[in-house]
Amino acid sequence: MMKKHTFFLFAAIFLFGSCGMLQSIMKSTFPYTANLVIPASSSIDQPHTAISTANSFDQDFTKDGNNANRISEVRIISAKLQSKDPSDYNIGNIAALRIYMAKADGSDEVLVAIRKDITANVGNSVVLDIDNSHFLDEIVREPSVRIRMVYLLRKAVNTDVELKVSLSIGAEPRER
């Protein structure tokens, strides 16, 4: 029974994929995620940069990775950073960070999230303060986007640390 419902759900997605309302729902449902690495060689009290490519789960169902043709007014609505490897890494070892989103080639970069005051014992997950003052329409029309994190370590790391950033967006159907 579950397979039948799943089939109809995917059929509806493919059938109505060109509908602006469906595209805005899909883009607003699946966040952009990227894995960022902090190398063990990173020093404290100096800004460092980690760069990764991000994509959204819904992009896997389109032939060219772009399913945002009919949406507009795209903005960040939430941002979260969590430890991936090691899973218990204390994000409080990072004093401050900024997250930027850009096209895959690095152009049109926009600040989307920031955290200036990370508590020393915050644990393995932290919600970031969003900056939704910019529209991201052109960026999300790309097959993939570039995520850049600029961070300042409070405490040195013994091993490479992999962090996962999740950026949820909100979008409106584009009127023709």
Under-50 pLDDT residues of the chain: 15-22, 24, 28, 60-65
| pLDDT tens track for 126-151 | 999 999 888 888 888 787 899 999 99
Q: How far does Cα 77 stand from its chain's mean position?
A: 11
User: Do residues 136 and 109 touch, judged by C-beta distance below 8 A?
Assistant: no
All structural domains of the chain, each given as residue ranges with its CATH number in brackets, are 2-173 (2.60.120)
Alpha-carbon distance values, 159 to 125, 162, 167 (Å) = 18, 10, 26
pTM of the model: 0.79
